[in-house]
């Protein structure tokens, strides 16, 4: 049996601060049309795919920060994406900064949505692992203020029946944490979609910089193999406002093998015919969770936040 889902990973080159949303949406539409022309039923865009990666700057003005956020989704500016998805029957994952008024207060999240081939939002995720720092660190060449501008996601790691399988979502730094994939794996996920905006340089750990590609690949390949799921990781890359960003968007099989990878640091579509039934042999044998996991031995994972070494 083969349940084939043809997926496009739509990598984006830099988005300049001055690039207005309609100009960016035009780029997304071009990639969606290329995906359709190559038989895709689903196309995956990066994290924060409508704007530049604004957490690289320290801002105090609420209005300035809010200008990078979407007050509604779809909005007039993003509606063309949804209309084209319905016209072409191509669903999509889109990362964006969400501004919502909940419980009488303004809340911002680093969000992604899953939209089906009829242009309907079938799933939403809010980023849980927020990297970087919350206070201005002027000594840095660039900031990474996700902890300042976003709240920790409050929707958990969900999965949705869509595109003939069980689809999950996460965002960027989430992909480095095994718990992300395992929570979705425990819900039977068969394909995890994720976008990322990853600076090549990480100021607090420059000695890691030369391993950026390796750590990117390692994290997603491990997540795929250890949970018997496909993983589609899609970059916003290139030199964005003076900050080099990692590329290496890729589509990874449940075996952990990368089956497609981008070759540029620009807008680039890669496509793979993903047989969702390739998950089965891993879920039924090596990673048959019901047969092999021992949750009572894993309590520390939930009970303890930071490491506590023995006396």
**Positions marked catalytic:** 47, 127, 172
CB of 168: closest distance to ligand ING in angstroms?
17
| C-beta of 63 vs 205, nearer to ligand ING | 205
Query: Which of 36, 1, 31 lies closest to 13 in space, CA to CA?
Result: 31
Write phi, then psi, for 194 (nearest 5 degrees). -150, 140
Half-sphere exposure of 244 (CA within 13 A, CB side): 10
| C-beta of 172 vs 192, nearer to ligand ING | 172
d(CA 2, CA 83): 30
Please say whether the beta carbons of 271 and 43 come within 8 A: no
CB of 117: closest distance to ligand ING in angstroms?
28
CB of 200: closest distance to ligand ING in angstroms?
8
d(CA 10, CA 266): 10
| C-beta of 78 vs 219, nearer to ligand ING | 219
| C-beta of 14 vs 199, nearer to ligand ING | 199
| DSSP summary character for residue 201 | -
Q: Give contact residues for ligand ING (rule: CB under 6 A).
A: 131, 144, 172-173, 176, 196-199, 202
List Cβ neighbours of 1 (8 Å cut-off, separation of 6 or more). Answer: 277
| DSSP summary character for residue 151 | P
Tokens of 139: 């000594």
Write phi, then psi, for 187 (nearest 5 degrees). -115, 10
CB of 247: closest distance to ligand ING in angstroms?
12
CB of 249: closest distance to ligand ING in angstroms?
13
Tokens of 76: 């007039």
| C-beta of 84 vs 240, nearer to ligand ING | 240
d(CA 296, CA 300): 9
Other beta carbons within 10 angstroms of residue 111's beta carbon come to 26
């Amino acid at each position: 049996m083969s349940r084939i889902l043809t997926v496009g990973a739509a990598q984006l080159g830099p988005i300049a601060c001055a690039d207005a949303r309609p100009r960016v949406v035009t780029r997304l539409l071009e990639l969606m049309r290329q995906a359709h022309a190559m038989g895709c039923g689903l196309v995956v865009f990066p994290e924060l795919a409508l704007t530049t990666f604004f957490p690289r700057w320290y801002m105090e003005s609420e209005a300035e920060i809010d200008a990078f956020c979407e007050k509604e989704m779809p909005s007039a500016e993003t509606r063309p994406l949804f209309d084209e998805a319905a016209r072409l029957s191509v669903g999509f994952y889109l990362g964006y900064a969400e501004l919502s008024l909940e419980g009488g207060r303004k809340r911002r999240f680093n969000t992604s949505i899953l939209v089906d081939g009829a242009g309907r939002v079938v799933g939403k995720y809010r980023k849980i692992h927020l990297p970087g720092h919350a206070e201005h660190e002027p000594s840095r060449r660039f900031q990474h203020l996700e902890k300042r501008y976003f709240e920790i996601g409050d929707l958990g790691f969900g999965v949705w029946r869509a595109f003939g399988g069980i689809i999950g979502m996460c965002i960027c730094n989430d992909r480095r944490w095994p718990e992300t994939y395992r929570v979705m794996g425990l819900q039977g996920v068969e394909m995890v979609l994720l976008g990322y905006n990853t600076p090549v340089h990480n100021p607090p750990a420059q000695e890691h910089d030369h391993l950026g590609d390796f750590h990117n690949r390692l994290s997603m390949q491990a997540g795929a193999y250890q949970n018997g799921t496909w993983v589609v990781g899609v970059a916003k890359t290139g030199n964005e406002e003076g900050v080099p960003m990692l590329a290496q968007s890729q589509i990874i099989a449940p075996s952990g093998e990368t089956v497609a990878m981008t070759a540029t640091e620009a807008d680039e579509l890669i496509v793979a015919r993903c047989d969702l039934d390739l998950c089965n042999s891993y879920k039924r044998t090596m990673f048959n969770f019901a047969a092999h996991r021992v949750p009572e031995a894993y309590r520390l994972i939930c009970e303890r936040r930071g490491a506590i070494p023995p006396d």
